[in-house]
Structure 1
Amino acid sequence: MLVAPRRTGLTGSIGPREPTRTQPSVNESTWGPSPATGRAPAGPPAPPPPKKRAGRDLRAAVGVGVGLGALVLAALFVYRPAFLVVIATAVVVGLWELSTRLAERKQIRVPLVPLALGGVATVVAGYLDGARGAWSAMALTVLATCLWRMFSSPENYLRDVTAGVFAAFYVPFLASFVALMLAADDGEWRVLVFILLTVVADTGAYAVGWRFGRAKLAPRISPGKTREGLAGAVFFAAVAGALSMMWLIDDGTWWQGVLLGLGVATSATLGDLGESMIKRDLGIKDMGSLLPGHGGIMDRLDSLLPTAPVVWLLLAVFVGAD
């Protein structure tokens, strides 16, 4: 009688039984159930969450910021008209950055020459002749931009001129309000308060948002902006405004400074979001790379430009335009 061999193992293969293992394999001892408890031991500990890091070179940003601050203070308090050169230079470089990015990303040819010349004229006219001079120079700049573009191909004329008018309004026209502040009897102090409050608002928003930010302010425009950061900008700008109006502006009061700080925090945030919208449309991170750790000139002017008319107007209401 033939006896069929016995099947052994889990696969049904014919042959001798494998010897029983008394020690678990490496994988079993690490990941398999424990013989004593019947439960799998815990895996390796999860790595700690990465620390929040600033998106830029902090040392370079601080160094450039200190250098720009020293330049501003020297131009303001050593020889006031020299600050006009600082404003005019920032306007020309800002227009160049904006026109270059528009040409690279959207093939929009902004007439840079009339914009640069008209931008400088707008700033100087604002200092010498007040609001009337600035607005007159602005109108002539727009006219010159339209005429300059007529000497090129008519294709995309309307698009290029429209972009040129936007650039003239966005950079030199808004910058002319700094020149209007500078022309007052205490102009250097008004400009200092304007710059100080804008920097405080930006710094407060960054510091509070980086540490406590959870709720996004405008995620489709600027994912890094948070409501907590906006609250920080409002608080610190209001405190700095109250102190500045009492100590730096003649006849100023603390409550005027609080209102001034609220206005600066709002306009600075909107200005930052506005340029973020432009950069998202262009598909770029920075407008330029002239300032290490900061990007370009326009990346530093985004909060200052829309804040200038707000500060000029509020100071004119509170303590007069002259």
Structure 2
Amino acid sequence: MNDASWGAPPHMGHRWSPDGGPAGPAGPLHEAGAAAQTRPMPIVPDAGGDQDDREQGAAHVGGPLFRDEQEPDIRPEEPAAPQAAQAGKKSAGRDLRAAIGVGIGLGAVILASLFVYKPVFLGVIVLAVVVGLWELTSRLAERKGIRAPLVPLAIGGAAMVVAGYVNGAEGAWVAMAFTALAVLVWRMTEPPDDYLKDVTAGLFAAFYVPFLATFVALMLAAGDGAWRVLTFLILTVVSDTGAYAVGWRFGKHKLAPRISPGKTREGLLGAVAFAMVAGALCMQFLIDDGVWWQGLLLGLAVAVSATLGDLGESMIKRDLGIKDMGALLPGHGGIMDRLDSLLPTAPVVWLLMVVFVGS
């Protein structure tokens, strides 16, 4: 070791050689230092560190200093085999087994009620509307403090669906008007603070959920209404499935990153392609007097409306700061998370069906 590194002047603690130069430190301190330099350093057994830690440098001392000490294992846990095997693959982002199981169950209930007895399917629509309104108003109250009155919305929503099935579009409009009036009056029973905000949200909920769902009842009322509703459901589900499958596998370019980062332009093309093929088949084989080319247009319109409906609810959920509207359906979220693409698609399918094959 260099003397200068110690910072001591030459005349302190040194002996002098016969020629007048310094010969090194003198005294017991020097002898202890020399002995320390010549004596080998004891080897401390390494009980905890791995080989990579020991190879990082001589400054590292591995293992506990005393026998009764336990050195914590700070090495990261290695991923499980299934996760390691899927490291380079995209994740589906939801529980597919639960989603498929719930989807099959819902499909069975819908088909059974649709083709066995139409009023039973009408009851399914009413139930979905009431639950959807409950989810929407609950999230508005929790996240924004908006108190949209649920009771008049639920009663008026059920009346809208039934009136549309029995009396057509005129009956649905009349029920919608009375529902709006009931929301305004019901909210008057509470303090006037935020009255305008609450009734505005209530009117929005009345239009968004039950009024749009009424167009499914209008389709059901036709002579081949069960097949029209089935076509509507098939096209919407196929559109969503095509968008999900193609977007998950090939999606690279974001469709609307500010609204829904998971949606891609490739997924939209998949939705259009799948829905157009399904539309051509449904119009040709399921709808009376339907033609395949009409199904192509119908499928295109469904893909666009279903995508816009999905983006619309994504905007609502982003504003509310939530991922799902509810948790009633494992793998899907809430009822509103399944109605998001169905609701805006219902009037589109109803109108095109009327144009193509009549009411």
TM norm structure 2: 0.78
**Following superposition of structure 1 onto structure 2, how do residues 261-272 of structure 1 map, counting pairs within 5 Å?**
261-272=299-310
**Matching residue within 68, 93, 96 for 2:131:** 93
> How far off its partner does 1:213 sit?
0.4
Question: Which residue identity is paired with 1:121?
Answer: A
Structure 1: distance between partners of 2:340 and 2:39 = 76
1:39 maps to none
Question: Among residues 91, 96, 109, which one is paired with 1:58 in the alignment?
Answer: 96
Match of 1:10 in 2: none
Gap runs ≥5 in structure 1 = 7-13, 20-25, 33-46
Which residue of 323, 326, 333 corresponds with 1:285? 323
Q: 1:79 — aligned with what?
A: 117
Q: Alignment length, in residue pairs?
A: 294
Relative to structure 1, the CA distance from residue 247 to residue 30 in structure 2 (aligned partners, 3 Å threshold; closer, same or farther) is: farther
Query: 1:77 Cα deviation (Å)?
Result: 0.4
CA RMSD of aligned residues (A): 2.0
Q: Rate the CA distance shift 1:188–1:5 in 2: closer, same or farther, 3 A.
A: farther
Residue 187 (structure 2) aligns with? 149
Provide the residue aligned with 2:63 in structure 1.
none
Residue 245 of structure 2: which of 207, 210, 214 is its match?
207
| Cα shift at 1:28 | 11
Q: Deviations over 1:139-177 (max 9, x none)?
A: 110111101101111110000000000000000000000
- Of 204, 213, 220, the residue aligned with 2:258 is 220
Higher relative contact order (CA 8 A, sep 6+): 1
Counterpart in the other structure of 1:259: 297
The Cα shift of 1:51 comes to: 2.3
Equivalence for 2:224: 186
| Distance verdict in 2 for CA 1:27–1:161, change over 3 Å | closer
Q: Percent identity?
A: 73
Distance 2:178 2:283 in 1: 36
| Equivalent residue in structure 2 for 1:294, among 332, 338, 357 | 332
Q: Deviations over 1:64-119 (max 9, x none)?
A: 00000000000010111111000000000000000000000000001100000000
Q: Which structure 2 residues correspond to residues 129-148 of structure 1 after superposition, within 5 A?
A: 129-148=167-186
**Which residue is equivalent to 2:347?**
309
Matched, 1:230 2:284: no
Tell me the TM-score normalized by structure 1: 0.87
SS, match of residue 340 in structure 2: helix
Secondary structure, counterpart of 1:81 in structure 2: helix
Ranges in structure 2 where 5+ consecutive residues have no aligned partner: 1-18, 25-32, 41-50, 58-83
Structure 1 residue identity aligned to 2:114: L
Superposition deviation, residue 5 in structure 1: 6.5
Taking structure 1 as reference, are residues 223 and 17 closer, same or farther at Cα in structure 2, changes over 3 Å only? farther
Kindly tell me: are residues 27 and 106 of structure 1, through their superposed partners in 2, closer, same or farther at Cα, counting changes over 3 Å?
closer
Residue 71 of structure 2: aligned partner: none
The whole-number CA distance in structure 2 between the counterparts of 1:209 and 1:198 is 16
Taking structure 1 as reference, are residues 151 and 27 closer, same or farther at Cα in structure 2, changes over 3 Å only?
closer
